[in-house]
Amino acid sequence: MATTVDSKTAVITRTTLMVGLEIHIELATRTKMFTRVANAAHPSHYDEPPNTLIDPVVCALPGALPVMNKAAVEMSMMVGIALGCSIARHSKWDRKNYYYPDLPKGYQISQYDLPLCHDGKVDIVATAGGTRAIGIIRAHLEEDTGKLGHDLPGGHHYAGSLVDLNRAGTPLLEVVTAPDFDCADDVVTFAEELRNLCRFLGVTEGIMQKGHMRFEPNINLVLELADGSVVKTPIVEVKNLNSFRALKGAIEYESTRQVAQWRETGRTMGRGMKQTRGWDDVALKTLLQREKEDAHDYRYFPEPDLVPVEVSDAWRNEVAARVPELPIARRARYAATYGLSDIDTRNIVDERATCMFFESCVQAAIATGATEQTAGYAAGKLLLNIGAKHANQRGVGVHAIGVSAAQVAGILALREQGTIGPQAVDALFAALCESGDDAKSVAERLGLIIERDEGQLLVWVDAAIAANEQAANDVRAGKMAAIGRIVGAVVRLSGGKVDAKTVNDAIKSRLGQ
């Protein structure tokens, strides 16, 4: 439909971006949604040869009947609960009819009017400051399609399309948000949080390059004109974005292109006006694919070969009990209770296994007598600094490096007691990666225990003062920054067997400070 104003000459006084987001999440169940054949989204079956994860159900052979995957339903319920959704007591399966070469049946089993999860809400940190509530309209289960490719084995280009059905039938959870976004950065923030949440729940590996999560923003603009009228541009759905960079780029490109298109055509939002566009990662622009179908074009009708999904209170409660404290809440708790920075909390929480190991280290440190705040802060810093360094060298996560939570707590206790110096922590951590002994035993074996001989300490202090005469004179004159050179000299003379604070006090005493 066309506007009643002249779009070519109208003065736009304000432009507001409106974005709703559809996210397709491949669930990492062992088997596919409606058959027992192996699931390509499970880590055990990555990179299988094309068309090997198939069976009569996947290929839609005559007489093959679907059977629902209970694990996929429960994973979807966990995500729904984490997103604040209501879980439907009764939902059903529907056939979404359309033709595409990678859709063997000629229809997709999905959920239409009675989805499994509905009416949720998530708060995210907004770019403009504070938080922003994002409504979740629904999260429904369906099966994924196959995949079309254009490369022959060996990477040779093929002019036609090659069909691989390994992905066909993979459990696919589609999360649909309300159009509550008005800037691309907030969309990306939500997408990152959802990926982190789903990985934390263990429902998907979330590897973007493998298509485990695909984003489809629905974008349009509200244009306020100088004459007081308001127009809305037609909605554009950008399909199958599998990177945060592409998601941000597509939204920002459309926010400019749609103004230019309205100027040219005067077309506004209405029935039959929706477009589907793709994203060109090289040209950094969207490209028209087709005029978007409305829901009635898919001729939805109930799937006759599957019974509805009936969720009892007991089943819902059982699934809800599996949902752990979520990433956003954990980050807030780590910052408030332990005093860790935002970047530190994100680095801890981004990998669930690392986060769980961190929690174990904190509890082990508390058991040795540390306060909760001291244990959390010290364990976080140790794992993110020294632990991460050794983990990177070994090509594994910190949780898999070979050090136990009890050993980490032992290192922290030795430092808190002043039994080992800061320079000894790295060597001790590395040794514990290869040993099952307790931290103190290993520290003693390596000669890392701080020397407590007061007479020997003063010998080292006097030698360091004599070797750093200018620094000593500066300290006598009240220039305390110079004391670091003398402290360093004492530490070197002792082979790292002295505590820096004790050395600092001894030097001050010797120099009359």
HSE toward the beta carbon, residue 402, CA cutoff 13 A: 15
The per-residue pLDDT for range 96-109, each reduced to its tens digit, is 999 989 999 999 99
pLDDT of residue 513: 65
Q: Calculate ∠ Cα 14-15-16, nearest 5°.
A: 120
Token pair listed for 345 = 């909390």
**Does residue 136 or residue 6 have the better pLDDT?**
136
CA distance 186 to 190: 6
The per-residue pLDDT of the chain, averaged, comes to 93
pLDDT in tens, 407-463: 999 999 999 988 888 878 999 999 999 999 999 999 999 988 876 667 888 888 899
The predicted pLDDT at position 1 comes to: 46
Lowest mean pLDDT among 322-331, 375-384, 441-450, 498-507: 498-507
| Of 40-49, 262-271, 296-305, highest mean pLDDT | 40-49
DSSP 189-240: HHHHHHHHHHHHHTS----GGGTSEEEEEEEEEEEEETTS-EEEPPPEEE--
Beta partners for 301? 95
How far is residue 74's CA from residue 450's CA, in Å, rounded to a whole number?
A: 54
Contact 67, 243 (CB under 8 A): no
Q: How confident is the model at residue 295 (pLDDT cuts 50, 70, 90)?
A: low
Q: How much is the pLDDT for 2?
A: 47
Q: Which residues contact 241 (CB under 8 A, 6 or more apart)?
A: 214, 215, 216, 217, 247, 250, 279
Length of the chain counted residue by residue: 513
Taken in order of first residue, the domains within the chain and their CATH numbers are 12-310 (no CATH), 327-445 (no CATH), 454-510 (1.10.10.410)
Find how far residue 261's CA is from the centre of its chain. 35
Give the separation between CA 54 and CA 112, rounded to whole angstroms. 26
